[in-house]
Amino acid sequence: MIRSPLTLALLSLALAACSPADPQQGVSSALANGVLLPAYGSWSEANSQLASSGRAFCADQQTLSEARQAFLTAQSAWASLQPLLIGPLAEGNRAWQVQFWPDKKNLVARQVEALLKNKPKLTPADLDKSSVVVQGLTAYEYLMYDSAIDLGNAEQKARYCPLLVAIGQHQQALAADVLDRWQAEDGMAAQLHGFPNERYAEPAEAVAELLRTQVNAIDGLKKKLGTPLGRQSKGQPQPYQAEAWRSKASLANLAAGLASAERIWRGAEQDGVQALLSADQSPLQQRIDAAYSDTRQRLAALQRPLGELLADPAGRSELNALYDSLNALHRLHETELAKALGIQMGFNSHDGD
């Protein structure tokens, strides 16, 4: 069930009713209310709109341009969630159902075509039993943007529309379920507010997980830029290894993820992780603020899609400078901020990639 904005607001007010004396509990609660719950609500709404769009497009009640815009909105909402992947969406294989990346062997295209060959009258139930490779936004993007698919052709549209509709429905149901798990009486939002609970013994554990998730996501942004840049292939650009290369939304997704990571740092009302630094740690706060500003400005200055920038030396130089800026931001969080807050960073899911 998708909660209304009023329901979300009332839940946030209820959670905020008690002003915790523990600074870490205050940050955990503030981030749950002001950053995470709104982001999960926006993601669920974007997926509801995606499902509606898929049905409308396939009923000839929406143009391809409108359908693509609904996809881009859902994709951006997902990119915004990645620095916030704690709790239900980080568990039970759910995130893979949203996006399959990196797709090093073009599995999405191959599995989509194989699925439709075997199930020409595919139903949502068929999709629910299929591989995560074909259930999510990467497959939806393939259908919407791949040059080999012409959705303006009636025969091709009829072939691919059952999968479009099924993916939209799958994403809507997944997002609604995750949001319900956040909003439940003893759900994720409540667990970030009241301690101890079955997930966290104390607020420090919640703040530590929030920071680890955010830092891991910033490292993931480096990977999303470094992989197509060829950082892992001796400098040889790999444009087709970019996230969202078909829709040319790679840099927009980076910007959405960066903005969300910064919201964990700042909070909705300057009540994020930065609030835990003492006055004598203000130089570190200023350096992190400056690092976010530098990365944001470098991203905003890139006026061409990632693929075009990769194709010429000047563009690659700009992208490498952006990568270095992201790396500096990541290291500030992973080492200096974590040390200042007494947080052990531990395992990074991007290690070894």
Band (pLDDT 50/70/90 cuts) for residue 4 is low
Based on the domain organization, do 182 and 209 belong to the same domain? no
In a domain, 44, yes or no: yes
Q: Tell me what the mean pLDDT of segment 121-139 comes to.
A: 97
What is the domain-level CATH number for residue 300?
A: 1.20.120
pTM, two decimals, is 0.92
Spatial separation of the C-alpha atoms in residues 218 and 327, rounded to whole Å: 8
118: domain range? 5-191
Q: Point out the domain boundary residue: 128, 161, 191.
A: 191
Q: Are residues 211 and 95 in the same domain?
A: no
- Indicate if 232 and 317 belong to the same structural domain: yes
Alpha-carbon gap, residue 187 to 181, rounded angstroms: 5
Chain centre distance of CA 154 = 33
Task: Quote the tokens at residue 23.
Answer: 């600074």
Q: Is residue 248 part of a domain?
A: yes
How many independent structural domains does the chain possess?
2
pLDDT digits over 196-244, tens only? 999 999 999 999 999 999 999 999 999 999 999 999 778 889 999 999 9
Alpha helices, DSSP H, located in 82-202: 94-98, 107-118, 124-128, 137-145, 154-183, 188-191
Of 191, 217, 244, the domain-final residue: 191
- Pair (179, 72) in one structural domain: yes
